[in-house]
Structure 1
Amino acid sequence: MFATIKNVENAVGETIPPLTAHAVSVSLPTWKSNVAYEEGEDWVIKNMKTGYPRFFIHLSIARLAEVIVEKHALPSEQAMLFPTHKAALRCLDFFNRQVSDLGPKEVRILDLVPAPENLSHVGSETASPSLSAVIFPKERFPTAKSFWQHSGEGISSRRAEYCYELFKRGLLVEKEKVDDLKRMCKGPRRYQKKVSMDSTGPLNGSNGHTSPEESKEQVQEGQDSLQFIEERFGRNLNVSLANKALHAVKRRIAGSLTADLELTEALEQEADNSRVRQCSGFSEDDVYIYSCGMNAIYNTHRSLLVARGPMKSIEYGFPYVDTLKILEKFGPGCLFYGMGESEELDDLERRLRNGERYLALFCEFPGNPLLKTPDLVRIKRLADEFDFAVVIDETIGNFINVNVLPYADVVVSSLTKIFSGDCNVMGGSAVLNPKGRYYNLLKQTWEAEFENNYWPEDTLFLERNSRDFVSRIERINLNAEAICEVLLSHPRIKQVNYPKHSPTKRFYDQCRTVSGGYGGLLSATFYRDSDAVAFYDNLDTAKGPSLGTNFTLSSPFVILAHYNELPWASSFGVDSNLVRFSVGLEETDALVAVFRRALAAIPQ
């Protein structure tokens, strides 16, 4: 029933989970390897088979970008790939704002769409692949990468795999040429055979389907996406199936679907009103799905700017790294309260009473990696009195444990984490509060601004992975509390960060559901750096970025997230020797033993 303790030695740069083509974590098994990754040392960088997708451009995406450049650009140029023209335009706008010496037409957009003879599937039963490439000089790569990382707007690796095969066979072409051809055509369009959603579907066999023998040859060991489609859904990925999967995912996020059921049964299941978010008038129509959690945050901030006009935002509490970057780089700026203490809310209230006005306050519930919890009751009172929106990131708490929607205008979350658990697909969500003060304005804005860019194959993985998320969360809550007690009792540990034992526990409990726990994430700091290194190097869990996995995943988080700003992070109480633990589904006794052995390895 439960996962086993890691028994495979993950080499540096190996995917986590091993042999997983679209893994969202990567093995960095020693403290030294994490530092070397940040320093760009070859013995780590050259062995990277993957990485966290917003920080590491997946090899499938890089391969597609290379062939696009070979055909449509100069050897001195590179390309960054996006799912739509609008997303590419936002990247172009970022270039124009960040680079003062940008020459005319130095950065341009190339839109690629299915070739005219393969357009029969557009808007019908199968998905329509398209993408937009932002092409720029190689020396401008840091700017493009910055947008990619902060916004989460880039294409997924599964989309890249599919589009690569189409592009190589001439089935993905310049939109401008297709438009020219359409204008030249007269009379009704005569369509050719339909294109399969699988990357090899339309290319083998006269009927547009791959034979079983050919399918077996094309499914490589470790290619989990192709194998999943082959075994569970056949060679054609039907959009109607993906749409049903998306509907089920939205129902789960809304809380109306909690049973572990196959897709057809799940959609027939009556609403579980005991789990529906406690907010009258709320429905799954108020749930929006994005490519990843940071993309949900980026688009929430962008949509608020559209709705309310250009104003500064507030970041309350020490945040996950890119949230602050979004507020600083994609608008008028940000007022940052990095400690998340009541004195900072006192300062905010003074500013508000002196006439300062803000777009929105962004916070995490609880924070990452210190697991502090904001005082949502007071924040909501200030928001109502002084007219600003509240955006709460519930990724760490998750709505099974906490109910924060009544205090927010928008609740965002990374579905990549515990909602999925399998560490093989990205996703994010934004939920609007129908009782929020800006609901009508935001609903109107979201309807105008929202693009469903979520790749259908990713939808199927997310739906499958999330079926048992309720039982997984309950199990992970118990395991995390057990590990917390082990760490609290050790004399070489300086501080353990966990909502149950935090000075801000009362704020967490104000929003904790009747059956909710304190989550699966915790962290610890040590009195000596050498103790942290010895402990981490001897901890027999998977070790890499991300969290919320079905297996325990550990990381020297501050080294990875803030290596180039360690003194700055330390000024907010985020020590460089902090180790973060995302607790999984392992047998509790076995997991406790793993942590005890690592603690025992600290030199006396």
Structure 2
Amino acid sequence: MTVTVVPENNLEIGESIPPLTVHAVSVSLPTWRANVGYEEGEEWVLSKMKTGYPRFFVHKSIQQFATAIVERYGRPDEQAILFPSHSIAARCVAFFKQQVPELDGEQVRILDLVPLSENARSKELSIISPRISTVFFPQSKSSLAKAFWQHSGDGISSRRAEYCYNLFSNGALIDEATLEPPSRFCKGPKRYQKRTSIDMKSEKLNSASEAQDPTRFVEERFGRNLDLSMTANAKIAIRRRIAGSLTADVDLSDAIHLEKDPQRTRNVIGFSENDVYLYPCGMSSIFNAHRLLLAAKGPLESIIYGFPYIDTLKIAQKFGPGCLFYGFGSSEELDDLEKRLEGGQRFFALFTEFPGNPLLKSPDLERIHSLAYKYDFYVVVDETVGNFLNVNVLPYADVVVSSLTKVFSGDSNVMGGSVILNPSGKHYDTLKRIWEEDYEDNHWAEDSIFLERNSRDFVSRIERINANAEAICDVLNAHPCVKQVNYPKHSPTRAFYDKCRNPGGGYGGLLSATFFSKQDAVAFFDNLDTVKGPSLGTNFTLSSPYVILAHYNELDWCATYGVEADLVRFSVGLEESSKLVAIFQRALDAIQ
């Protein structure tokens, strides 16, 4: 008797992941054909898209807000792209003019929208900083705007768009140029204003009767679930978790008073949450690290070591003199680098991932650090996939970047990123000064509150995800139709991973597999009963034909670095291990 198993995760094409989540950061592409259709721009897929990954699919609330701004302030042939600050908008304009030098200031221009003067002085608005900087550009140049949005990661979040659109619609967010005198915001140190320090929780919000009271607006939407006066404390708790000094799963009011966890704090002398900087998303942290380090060293090339996430390479290629790309992440490539350095060639920084995505290879950070120290270049390590509970890469880096959107949050409903400076690094004093002078805290208040809540159980989630991923890895490795499983534990570079692995640390929740034929890969993927879409680090297992989604127009190029077009990537979640094993086994059986 045949038992029919009803799929539990067969979401419709274009449904948000998680389902019915307004600010979801993933979208359902449940079949191989749907993924190809999305990349081909086929209407039967695109017409069903309720959302998408935020840097690739501009959230509909942001689109609506941008359209409304164009209708009020723009011209018939213009579009608009929205940023949280004037300085970011100015960088976008500079990118336009770099790519198309003939564009002038009338064709690409900035409009700053700020609260009315009387509202701007309220404590609520000083906490959340609801200003928008709009870049208007010709409709024919929309691809350039999309490129800057995608590569920089510095666009506004969907929650910021909703909030500011409400103010804008009610006449409380206006053109800064119309204010007399111009509205001035007390920025204080560019890091965190004194008004929003850890003592903020003791302050009581006033001006409750003011028009467009932001606290009332949020409470009406979320049923009094958000207390925006706790924004600063939420950011401090997030930074402490990233630093490793806060690991307890407790409410925010308790978290900010806890003693540091000495067992989890990153093992670097002098390190604290004061060396952690929050960004709107992980790519924003990489983009700004690249920007600041390039400015510090001057117009030199960078090094991209190991097969990287697509936008890291694009940043290096488009926003500077270019890069030296070592796509295999091999010892031979480090030999070549050393020869170049001995011959006098110089670089401003080396960017690498630990481990890499999607092949999960680990770079030799010890050797890279030694070369950097001797030949005076910065080392930037992306620890998103490994995460600091499993590995400690900070001793080998000047800067560590991470996407908090992924496993740090887990819930797939908020974006975030971080930059960490190494206080024991050779260049720390220089980098600290640069970051303190340049840094803008553009992580939106509501996003910070959600991110803090989501990350409270970070430690326990990582431990379970590690165990589940190893179980899935064993199932895949045992099947004759699986050609190769990529996972740090079974990688030829495991020794480099283990050198950085924390006592008790695991090998993470990301793995990938290849098959002996495309037909096998498609049969497996289409019969795999997990949620399927872009992103990783979710609390639920998330699968995708990663290379198809990330590199569809450069599949042959990927193949030259051993990254096969039919690779399937898995971000393992918190489900019961035996259930996950059964799900993967049924998909493997479908091949036969």
| Alignment TM-score, normalising by the size of structure 2 | 0.93
- Which of 254, 257, 264 is equivalent to 1:275? 264
- Matched residue of 1:55: which SS? coil
- What letter corresponds to residue 149 of structure 1 in structure 2? Q
1:566 equivalenced with 2:559 (yes/no) = no
Are positions 1:158 and 2:151 aligned together? no
**Matched AA of 2:406:** K
2:225 alignment partner in structure 1: 232
Amino acid at match of 1:519: G
> What is residue 450 of structure 1 aligned with on the other side?
439
Residue 124 of structure 1, CA deviation: 6.5
**Residue 144 (structure 2) pairs with residue 178 (structure 1):** no
> What does residue range 350-369 of structure 1 map to in structure 2 within 5 Å?
350-369=339-358
CA distance in 1, matches of 2:100, 2:561: 30
**Aligned 1:301-312 pairs, distance under 5 A:** 301-312=290-301
Partner residue of 1:248 out of 237, 241, 246? 237
Give 2:395's aligned residue. 406
Match 1:464 to one of 453, 469, 473: 453
The one-letter code matched in structure 1 to 2:26 is: S
Distance 2:47 2:298 in 1: 45
On the 8 A contact 1:12/1:44 being kept in 2, the answer is: yes
2:456 equivalent to 1:437? no
Matching residue within 496, 501, 507 for 2:490: 501
Matched, 1:133 2:137: no
Matched, 1:147 2:148: yes
Query: How does 1:322-337 map onto structure 2 within 5 Å?
Result: 322-337=311-326
- Partner-residue secondary structure (3-state), 1:232: coil
Question: Is the Cα contact below 8 Å between 2:124 and 2:214 reproduced in 1?
Answer: no
Q: Distance in 2 between matches of 1:449 and 1:119?
A: 23
Aligned partner of residue 350 in structure 2, secondary structure: strand
5 Å-filtered alignment, 1:42-441, equals 42-121=43-122, 126-180=127-181, 193=210, 195-198=212-215, 200=217, 215=220, 226-227=221-222, 230-233=223-226, 237-238=228-229, 241-441=230-430
Superposition deviation, residue 102 in structure 1:
1.8
1:456-498 Cα distance to aligned partner (Å, 9 max, x none): 0000000000000000000000000000000001111111000
TM-fit CA distance, 1:103: 3.8
Q: Distance in 1 between matches of 2:589 and 2:116?
A: 62
The offset of 1:194, in angstroms, is: 6.0
1:410-434 deviation per Cα after TM superposition (whole angstroms, max 9, x unaligned): 0000000000000000000000000
AA partner of residue 54 (structure 1): R
Inter-partner Cα distance in structure 2 for 1:16 and 1:521: 18
Q: Is the CA contact (8 Å cut-off) linking 1:122 and 1:128 kept in structure 2? A: no
How much is the aligned-residue C-alpha RMSD, in angstroms? 1.6
Q: Return closer, same or farther for 1:331/1:482 CA change in 2, 3 Å cut-off.
A: same
Q: Which amino acid aligns with 1:32?
A: R
Which amino acid is the alignment partner of residue 72 of structure 1?
A: Y
Give the whole-Å Cα distance in 1 for the aligned partners of 2:69 and 2:363: 46
Following the alignment from structure 2 to structure 1, what is the Cα–Cα distance between the partners of residues 234 and 18? 24
Q: Which moved more, 1:127-136 or 1:414-423?
A: 127-136
Report the Cα offset of residue 126 of structure 1.
Answer: 4.4
| Structure 2 Cα separation of the partners of residues 382 and 181 of structure 1 | 50
CA contact (8 A) 1:551 1:584 kept: yes
Deviation for aligned residue 1:47: 0.8
- Between the aligned partners of 2:101 and 2:396, the Cα distance in structure 1 is 40
Deviations 1:31-84 (A, max 9, x none): 000000000011111111110000000000000000000011112110000000
Matched-pair contact (CA < 8 Å) for 1:126–1:195: no
Contact residue 121 and residue 127 of structure 1 kept, 8 A: no
Question: Distance in 1 between the 2:582 and 2:313 partners?
Answer: 37
Q: Contact 2:167–2:212 at 8 Å: present in 1 too?
A: no
Task: Please list every run of 5 or more consecutive structure 2 residues that lacks an aligned counterpart in the other structure.
Answer: 1-5, 185-206
Match status 1:520 vs 2:509: yes
Deviation at 1:9, TM superposition (A): 2.8
- How far 1:447 moved relative to its partner? 0.5
What's the secondary structure of 1:581's corresponding residue? strand
Q: For residue 418 of structure 2, give the secondary structure of its aligned residue in structure 1.
A: strand
Question: Which amino acid letter does the alignment assign opposite residue 455 of structure 1?
Answer: W
- Mapped to 2, the partners of 1:331 and 1:522 lie a distance apart of 32
Structure 1 residue matching 2:128: 3-state secondary structure: coil
* Post-superposition CA distance 1:500-552 (Å, at most 9, x none): 00000000000000010000000001110011001000000000000000000
Cα deviation, 1:386-437, whole Å, max 9, x if unaligned, reads 1111000000000000000000000000000000000000000000000111
Contact 1:84 1:130 in 2 (8 A): yes
1:119 CA drift (Å): 2.4
The 1:70–1:371 alpha-carbon spacing in structure 2 relative to 1, beyond 3 Å, is same
Task: Note if 1:530 corresponds to 2:519.
Answer: yes
Contact 2:176 2:183 in 1 (8 A): no
C-alpha distance in structure 2 between counterparts of 1:484 and 1:381, whole Å: 33
Q: Quote the Cα distance in structure 1 between the aligned partners of 2:7 and 2:161.
A: 30
Is the contact between residue 294 and residue 428 of structure 1 (CA under 8 Å) also seen in structure 2? yes
Q: Against the structure 1 CA distance between its residues 182 and 36, is the aligned structure 2 distance closer, same or farther, given a 3 Å change threshold?
A: closer
CA distances 1:83-108 after superposition (whole Å, capped 9, x unpaired): 00000000001011111332442100
Q: Is the partner of 2:149 in helix, strand or coil?
A: helix
1:7 counterpart letter in structure 2: E
What residue ranges of structure 1 are gaps of 5+ in the alignment?
A: 184-190, 202-209, 216-225
TM-score by structure 1 length?
0.91
Question: Secondary structure of 1:200's match?
Answer: helix
Whole-Å separation in 1 of the counterparts to 2:183 and 2:36: 54
Name the SS for the 2:121 alignment partner.
helix
Deviation at 1:123, TM superposition (A): 7.6
Could you tell me which residue of structure 1 aligns to residue 481 of structure 2? 492
Pair 123,457 (structure 1): closer, same or farther in 2 beyond 3 Å: closer
Change (3 A) 1:524 1:277: same
* Aligned-residue offset at 1:560: 0.3
Distance 1:275 1:180 in 2: 50
